[in-house]
Amino acid sequence: MRKTVMAVVALSGVVASTAGAVAAPAQVPNRAVLQRDADALLDQGAPGVLAEMDTPDGQVKVRSGYGDKAARTPVPWNTHFRIGSMTKPFTATVVLQLVGEGKLSLDDTVEHWLPGVVTGNGNDGAKITVRNLLQHTSGLADYLRALPFLNTAAGFEANRFRVLTAPDMVAMAMKYAPSFEPGANWEYSNTNYLLAGMIIKKVTGNDWQREVQRRIIAPLSLRNTYAPQAYPYLPEPHAVGYQRFARDESDIDATAMSPSWAGAAGAIISDTTDANTFLRALVGGKLLKPAQLKQMRTTVAAHELDPVFPGAQYGLGIAWVPTACGGYWSHGGDIHGFMTRNGVSADAQRSVVVTVNTDSPVVKPGVPRAPYDITKDLMDHAFCGTS
């Protein structure tokens, strides 16, 4: 949900690619390596970790640290957690299903479906396509800029149960000028997916949550996955979601909050087993027709992500992350109290989901800060093994 980048790197242009042609090599799950990598995340500031790797040869699940630091109890094996921006591939999948059904086109403009919504300060919905939204090439400002209360402990505590609507948050984003002309660059903006959710409702007559439920959650029997409206509590069992707003402040319990401000960009709740099932079903072609899956997997350069995942490319709601042995499809998520990282091989045979019960880890004193995302070694080892 929240940006997981350390810097914004300008693109000289947007270049089409079809990443993911080579599948990661199949390997027997290695519990010892996965456990070691999960343990290493504690030094990087993770209170607790749960990681699950699924392959045709079996499933491995490990945990480390504490789900509740005060009680000194581990993360529950079947813990529920907020997946943050891993919600985006769910939303993109529904949009692409509607494309496959002939109910809309990726080349339709936002103005066509949501007249008068994207306008002012140089914003023009007539120039932005549905593809631009799913691809993050719209240039629209992120509405989170207009929600400063999310960035301080006092602001969060005062507003954690506040209910916001997608139209209102999009209107907040329209106060800012776009970063570039549609299609001219790549920049991560949660506004894109609020608009995608609004288009789903305009096309189907149903909220995006209902369409995700009937098109993805129910058919895949994802029994621990929920697309909430504004209900602020996680189902049991769950870890405590810790948030630190400044390095010199203490963690607060951010577990309970209204997910309405995240919406179709980041509100879903799941567990590691369901999340793995979804990733394999998506990349394996069980949710989209071949033409739409190909569109989802057609990527553009996303240099903004280079500081955390070097060489990452972004498709329609899913990113390709290169590794020494090929790469994997992924969409992580960060939301108050929870960090989700994940990946699935191009052949959909191997998937990994990691949940950490904070999205604001502070590295332990004397420990070198990870040069990239703190889970990069874990993910690389999961797909490529160790030397």
Tens-place pLDDT, residues 172-231: 999 999 999 999 999 999 999 999 999 999 999 999 999 999 999 999 999 999 999 999
In a domain, 13, yes or no: no
- Residue 167 sits at φ, ψ, to 5 deg, of -55, -40
Number of domains observed in the structure of the chain: 1
> Quick check: is 309 in a domain?
yes
Which residues, in sequence order, are bridge partners of residue 73?
68
Residue 183 lies in a domain: yes
Mean pLDDT, the chain, rounded, equals: 93
Please tell me the distance from the alpha carbon of residue 379 to that of residue 381, in angstroms, as a whole number: 5
- Whether omega for the bond prior to residue 237 falls within 30 degrees of 0, making it cis, is yes
**CA–CA distance from 57 to each of 16, 28, 91, 353 (Å)?**
35, 6, 30, 17
| Residue 115 in this model has a pLDDT that exceeds 80 | yes
Taking 70 as the threshold, does the pLDDT of residue 122 lie above it? yes
Residue 261 CA to its chain's centroid (Å)? 15
* Structural domain includes residue 26: no
Q: Is the dihedral of CA 107, 111, 117, 123 positive or negative?
A: positive
In the chain, what percentage of residues exceed pLDDT 90?
Answer: 90
pLDDT at 28: 55
Spatial separation of the C-alpha atoms in residues 215 and 132, rounded to whole Å:
23
Above 90 in pLDDT, residue 385? no
Enumerate the H helices of the chain as residue ranges.
31-43, 87-100, 110-113, 130-135, 153-159, 166-173, 191-204, 208-212, 263-266, 272-283, 290-296, 376-384
For residue 315, give the CATH number of its domain: 3.40.710.10
User: Does residue 1 lie in a domain region?
Assistant: no
Positive/negative CA dihedral, 149, 154, 160, 162: negative
Query: What gap in Å lies between CA 79 and CA 224, rounded to an integer?
Result: 9
Distance, C-alpha 71 to centroid of its chain: 29
How large is the angle between the packed helices 166-173 and 191-204, nearest 10 degrees?
A: 140
Residue with tokens 């029997």, as numbered in its chain: 221
The answer to whether the CB of 308 falls within 8 A of the CB of 372 is: yes
Q: Is residue 3 part of a domain?
A: no
Write the CB contacts of 94 (distance below 8 Å, at least 6 apart in sequence).
200, 208, 211, 212, 215, 216
Catalytic residue list? 85
More confident residue, 76 or 14: 76
Q: State the pLDDT at residue 61.
A: 97
Whether the pLDDT of residue 12 is over 50: the answer is no
pLDDT band at 386 (very low <50, low <70, confident <90, very high): low
Given a contact cutoff of 8 angstroms between Cβ atoms, the answer to whether 322 and 383 are in contact is no
Distance CA 190, CA 196 (A): 10
Tell me, yes or no, whether 10 lies in a domain.
no
pLDDT one-digit tens code per residue, 243-278 = 999 987 899 999 999 999 999 999 999 999 999 999
- Is residue 14, in this structure, part of any structural domain at all? no
Q: Print the domain residue range for 156.
A: 31-384
Written as six digits, the tokens of 125 are 């919905």
pTM: 0.94
35-75 pLDDT tens trace: 999 999 999 999 999 999 999 988 999 999 999 999 999 99
The whole-number pLDDT of residue 249 equals 85
